[in-house]
Structure 1
Amino acid sequence: MEAFAEFLENIDNPQHRERTEEVLAWVFSEFPSLKPKFAWKQPMFTDHDTFIIGFSLSKQHLAVAPEEAGINHFSDEIVQAGYSHTKGLMRIPWNSQVDFSLLKKMIDFNITDKADCSTFWRK
């Protein structure tokens, strides 16, 4: 979590900071082989130098970005979990529970789908 310490310290809302720290710590714990990276003003995780998942904050939600392929693959499950999404990110409202099983599926999907990817983003 050291890679994200400064980012977390700068989150003014204590509840948002706690939730974000909880999610990032969960990713660290569940996926110890992923590398933490702070880029484009957001915490993210990579595998063999390819993007797996990123997170960003807004007043209303924690945004989860598994790339468009991840959103497309899990679109129905995202809606079933009670979240909204765009083509590039899923929104977890601050007042909603985190569906960690869905998050795990998204990360597992990206790790598998991008196993042979040699670029940071999908092409």
Structure 2
Amino acid sequence: METISDYLAKIDNPEHRAQMEDVFNWTKEEFPDLKSKIAWNQPMFTDHDTFIIGFSIAKNNFAVSPEAVVVARFSEAIKTAGYTHTANLVRFPWDKPVNYDLLKDMIAFNITDKADCETFWRK
């Protein structure tokens, strides 16, 4: 699997596939400077070769992984949006509309916060 298109093609549920395609297209449109890639069998977006956000799918949701610092910072907003999270990821249920404002805020925070980061992950 080398591209996001390859990743999407492997999603069996057509509704889930369409929702993920919408999320990826929105991310590309909203943040055109980010580069998309597949790493660790997961689609992700990077900025100057540093990780910004990753995605994965599960039975009841897709998950967004922006790194633990971001999840902690946005914990209350995540709960207010009706989502659950762990230390490293936020669960976006398939049966709820995607809160793009929250997603935008998390991505924008990571881009700004990691502007001077010289490694893929935060140290």
Instruction: State the TM bucket, normalised to the shorter chain.
Output: over 0.9
1:36 aligns to 2:44 (yes or no)? no
Q: Deviations over 1:2-50 (max 9, x none)?
A: 9311110110000110110000000000000000010011100000000
Question: For structure 1, which runs of at least 5 residues remain unmatched after alignment?
Answer: none
CA distance in 1, matches of 2:92, 2:5: 22
- Moved beyond 4 Å, runs of 4+: none
User: Deviations along 1:90-117, whole A, 9 cap, x unmatched?
Assistant: 0001001100000000000000000000
Root-mean-square deviation (Å): 0.9
After superposition, where does 1:79-94 map in structure 2 within 5 Å?
Answer: 79-94=79-94
- Cα distance in 1, alignment partners of residues 62 and 116 from structure 2: 29
- Mapped to 2, the partners of 1:22 and 1:4 lie a distance apart of 12
- Whichever residue aligns with residue 106 of structure 2, its letter is M
Asked if residue 57 in structure 1 is aligned to residue 57 in structure 2, the reply is yes
* Counterpart residue number, 1:46: 46
Q: Given residue 93 of structure 1, which amino acid in structure 2 is its aligned partner?
A: P
AA aligned to 1:110 is: N
TM-score, normalised with respect to structure 1: 0.97
**1:14 matched to 2:14:** yes
CA distance in 1 between partners of 2:104 and 2:94 (Å) = 19
2-structure distance, mates of 1:11, 1:3: 13
* Distance (whole Å) between structure 2 residues aligned to residue 41 and residue 83 of structure 1: 24
Number of aligned positions between the proteins? 122
Q: CA deviation at 1:70?
A: 0.6
Q: For 2:3 and 2:111, how far apart are their aligned partners in 1?
A: 21
